[in-house]
Amino acid sequence: MSIPGHTSILQPWLSDLKAGFHRNITSSPNYFLHSPSSLITTSNLHSLHLGTGESIHTSLLPLLESANEELILVTCFWASSATQKLINEVLVKLSEKGRSRGRKLRVRICFSSSGVLQKVLHPQTLNGKIYPPESWQSTLSLPSREQLQGLDMQVKSIFLLPFSVMHPKFIIVDRKVAVLPSCNVSWEDWFEGAVTLTGPVVSCFVEFWREFWAQQEDRDELVNSSGDSSHEDLIARISQPQPQQGQLPLHHSLDSKDIPTIFLPSPHHRNPDFRLPWQESSAPPPTPLNTFFLRSLASAEREIYIQTPNTTAAPVLSAILSTLQRGIDIHIVTSEKLMILEQLVTAGTTTSACISKLISRYQTLRSTPSDLEAGRPKLGTLKIEYFFPGRGDKEPKQSHLKCTIVDGELVMLGSGNLDRASWYTSQELGVAFFDKVFATRLRGDLARVLEGRLRSVLHSGT
């Protein structure tokens, strides 16, 4: 499958994956390497959700509770929290549904981290750890075993030392609907986003889960995805409150169908491939997500909007500078003080330090006059803003959304941050959408809800 009009991204990206075959073949999952074009698909976008993890999961409750055959929930972090209590409510209701019809409903919960001690003691194998039902309540704060008798449920975690956290977050309902959120099942009151999807892309989510998370019996067994509800019935169950302009949470419907879409897995890597401070950074693993992001910046023609929790990946910073040198305007929204200890451990630096270095290098470029005849176009403008913590119990305290919008047409969402951990060691998952209507809607919604929640660091265009 191809996407007409976007060969400037797709062909070089496919070539990157071919060239990186031998580096990727030892990674997991790597099922896509023999046919990378299988990652090119289509999707239907049904709803957009902006808010905290709790508000987003609250809006998704009707959809999750409507599952008739199977619910798959994959998250990076699992912790006792208001969000986790919402998931418990869903599980109890699905169990009641299974018991009333005399046929168990399948549930698969997959996560990577639930705390420091859990990661230190975790089995160092991709087989992961299966939690016995008698431990669900005491270890994971799940409902009692008796409350879940109507479910065929399995809970599994995978984590590999030193830094190989499995970072994707997604939900699959009856293999019909996929949810792509940025939030974990955790307590953080952070600014998050999510979209609900149907169409061929859902099978990509299922395949990713099957190839990495599923036990052999799940891989061999087919699940009846016909269910008792149509796609429209499932989507109609999503609550869609209409907030006043600029308020959170924001949940509303979308109606974008048959969108050219690219599924972008990024396998984990155990070797962090660190370099000493005076050495040049190592090349990042050539995963579908990493290479596609770089190609999207290289193919941009006008402007790029980037919102990311952290910005410590050297290849990203270099690509941003190269893109600015081509005359492309870039707007970055990031966090000044989010998970600083984790940044220092995994990257040896912090977002604020990297942003300061980026600004310094950019100012040096600004001091060099442009010369079109010599092949030096006018430098693109650079706008950088830090997310400003809101006040109040339900106000987001940090920004955790991962979003890139290129030329008002290409949107990338998913779990991948622009930090060193996401680019070198963590498993990630992204999805790219080629749709001007969605890009315009998302960019406008972000501008409205972020108004008054950002602090300017640099705006070279003023």
Give the side-chain half-sphere CA count within 13 A for 341.
Answer: 0
Token pair for residue 401?
A: 């959304």
Distance CA 183, CA 191 (A): 9
Compute the mean pLDDT over every residue in the chain, rounded to the nearest whole number. 91
AA identity, residue 117: L
Distance CA 385, CA 336 (A): 9
Contact predicate 280/250, CB 8 Å: no
Tell me the per-residue pLDDT of 189-213, one tens digit each, with 9 for 90 and over.
999 999 999 999 999 999 999 999 9
User: pLDDT exceeding 90 applies to what percent of the chain?
Assistant: 80
Q: Name the β-bridge partners of 261.
A: 41, 433
Contact predicate 422/429, CB 8 Å: no
Strand positions, DSSP E, 344-390: 382-387
Contacts of 258 (CB under 8 A, 6+ apart): 42, 44, 199
Tell me the per-residue pLDDT of 79-93, one tens digit each, with 9 for 90 and over.
999 999 999 999 999
pLDDT band at 216 (very low <50, low <70, confident <90, very high): confident
Coil, strand or helix at 110: strand
Tell me the per-residue pLDDT of 368-397, one tens digit each, with 9 for 90 and over.
876 655 566 799 999 999 999 877 777 899
Distance CA 241, CA 33 (A): 42
Burial class (CB in 10 A: 0-12, 13-18, 19+), 243: middle
Q: Does the pLDDT at position 179 exceed 90? A: yes
pLDDT of residue 242: 53
pLDDT of residue 8: 84
Burial class (CB in 10 A: 0-12, 13-18, 19+), 374: exposed
Per-residue pLDDT, averaged over 239-245, amounts to 52
φ and ψ at residue 460, rounded to 5 degrees = -70, -15
Q: Which long-range contacts (CB under 8 A, 24 or more apart) does 18-24 make?
A: 19/286, 20/285, 20/286, 20/287, 20/291, 23/285, 23/286, 24/267, 24/285, 24/286, 24/287
Per-residue pLDDT, averaged over 350-370, amounts to 92
- Residue ranges and CATH numbers for the domains of the chain are 48-257 (3.30.870.10), 264-459 (3.30.870.10)
pLDDT band at 228 (very low <50, low <70, confident <90, very high): very low
343-372 b/e (C-beta count within 10 Å ≥ 16 → b): beebbebbbbebbeebeeebeeeeeeeeee
Q: Which long-range contacts (CB under 8 A, 24 or more apart) does 341-345 make?
A: 342/421, 343/310, 343/312, 343/419, 345/163
**Which residue did the predictor score with more confidence, 76 or 227?**
76
Q: Does the pLDDT at position 235 exceed 60? A: yes
pLDDT band at 271 (very low <50, low <70, confident <90, very high): confident
Contact predicate 235/196, CB 8 Å: yes
Distance CA 255, CA 253 (A): 7
Distance CA 369, CA 376 (A): 8
Q: Does the pLDDT at position 1 exceed 80? A: no
Tell me the per-residue pLDDT of 398-456, one tens digit each, with 9 for 90 and over.
999 999 999 999 999 999 999 999 999 999 999 999 999 999 999 999 999 999 999 99
pLDDT of residue 240: 53
Distance CA 289, CA 24 (A): 12
Residue found under tokens 């419907």: 253
pLDDT band at 227 (very low <50, low <70, confident <90, very high): very low
pLDDT band at 232 (very low <50, low <70, confident <90, very high): low
Name which of 307, 454, 445, 323 is nearest 382 in CA terms: 323
Contact predicate 272/165, CB 8 Å: no
